[in-house]
Structure 1
Amino acid sequence: TPATELAELAAESVGVDLVEVSPDDFGATDVDDAGAQGDAELEPMEAALREIAAADDLDLAGVTAGAVESEFQTDRIWGMCDRLGIDLFAPLWQRDPVELAEAMFDADFEIRIIQVAAYGLDESWLGRRYDADALDDLLALREEYGVHPLGEGGEFETYVVDGPHMDRRIDLTYDTVWEGDRGHIEVRDATLE
């Protein structure tokens, strides 16, 4: 997952505690394809949540998922929550993706595209602001190549650098890495403004 090293800054800006979980901490299988890995991909998270739920000073009520249309992803997280006896909160599930994007723009989220892996998405998309103009371009790419306007199929990944829930904006300095048909940003420095 791109930009996971920025989670600490995001948590600080939002004002929440960060609980970091490394797959290595729980002996997770190292497989690149989530489909081939199945629920094994969730094992580290499930083990960490089990530990949190068992802690006397913490009260774990549930998990929030950001899936919009991915039944594969949502079903697996639902199953994990069921095994843990906690609720799944999925406020974006089955919402119209264009309306969701427009709601984020209207709420003044500043979102950057940090990884691309689909026809029509070239190196110029890396670091680009995900805004109304980008959405228009993505809708044209949906017609031509089937690109999901929120990247729900893994076509692209994003990172929120500022929003109404954040006290301070995250400033990124990065290089772009292009591998012929896919690419990502490589963060050199990240600070809270």
Structure 2
Amino acid sequence: MTDSGSWVSLFSGGKDSSWALYRALEEGLNVSHLLTVHPGEDSYMYHVPETRLAGLAAESIGIPLVDVEPDDLDAGDVDDVGAQGDREIEPLEAALVELQSDLDGGLAGVIAGAVESEFQTSRIQEMCDRLEIDLFAPLWQRDPLELGREMLAAGFEIRIIQVAARGLDESWLGRTLDADALTELVELNDEYGVHVLGEGGEFETFVTDGPHMDRPIELEYETVWEGTRGHIRVTDARLGEATE
């Protein structure tokens, strides 16, 4: 990887993008910006729920956030999944091109939190190739359980904000992803095939505190359950007192 230029971290506030950012900072990469794409109600490429909370997370982390708000990224109006994924990468690439021209020293690369999704990673890699920049993907092809344990050992506080898989009921909404939850997810993986880190869309998360954050995020929310899936609806979010 290049030693010059700035890095942009693709960031939703969820555990995977947060861990990728944390690892990049630990590696000493010059992360100048976080970038959040706010998709529609459904997306093949991006984390969907509560992406507006990324702004609070960025404030706590202390890195400027770029919001990308394409006019239409809903997956429902495109029949071909591949075509939808290709279209969804376009606003991200446009935002990076704009950043690339503004950054002193240019854009060195992009940081992404993909674990096993070839669909996402191949498109991000192709985009990086077109822009002639590097891709830093520290979670790629890692063991999900090992990654989860590393996140917890580092002090990440992870909240589950959406579930959509057999075996995950309403009681998981708002639950902290801790060691006990990881153990249960391993059991659900054995029984139903639930991905331990939810990479198949089984669940989504938000990081409310971590070693890369100066202040924790406090949430008030209500749960919305739709029979077989559900999410939390955040009614208030704020930064708490600075951690020691």
Task: Specify the TM-score bucket, using the shorter chain as the normaliser.
Answer: over 0.9
Structure 1 residue 161 and structure 2 residue 208: aligned?
Answer: yes
Q: 1:176, 1:185 within 8 Å by CA — same for their partners in 2?
A: yes
Partner of 1:35: 81
State the 1:90 CA deviation.
0.2
Partner of 1:45: 92
Residues 43-192 of structure 1: pairs in structure 2 closer than 5 A? 43-55=90-102, 57=104, 59-192=106-239
State the 1:59 CA deviation.
2.8
CA distance in 2, matches of 1:58, 1:42: 24
Match of 1:63, as an amino acid?
A: V
CA distance in 2, matches of 1:109, 1:169: 10
CA distance in 1, matches of 2:153, 2:183: 15
User: Among the aligned pairs, what percent are the same residue?
Assistant: 68
Number of corresponding residues:
190
Task: Give the 3-state SS of the residue equivalent to 1:91 in structure 2.
Answer: coil
Q: 1:56 to 1:106 in 2, by over 3 A?
A: closer
Q: 1:56 to 1:122 in 2, by over 3 A?
A: closer
Partner of 1:23: 70
Structure 1 alignment gaps of length 5 or more: none
Q: 1:83 to 1:148 in 2, by over 3 A?
A: same
State the 1:23 CA deviation.
1.2
Deviations 1:59-86 (A, max 9, x none): 3211111011111111011011111111
Task: Give the 3-state SS of the residue equivalent to 2:223 in structure 1.
Answer: strand
Match of 1:109, as an amino acid?
A: F
Structure 2 alignment gaps of length 5 or more: 1-47
Deviations 1:103-151 (A, max 9, x none): 1111111000001010000110000000100001101100110000000
Structure 1 residue 8 and structure 2 residue 55: aligned?
Answer: yes
State the 1:57 CA deviation.
4.4
State the 1:171 CA deviation.
0.2
> TM-score w.r.t. structure 2 length?
0.75
> TM-score w.r.t. structure 1 length?
0.94
Q: 1:52, 1:58 within 8 Å by CA — same for their partners in 2?
A: no
State the 1:42 CA deviation.
1.0
State the 1:54 CA deviation.
1.7
RMSD: 1.5
State the 1:35 CA deviation.
2.6
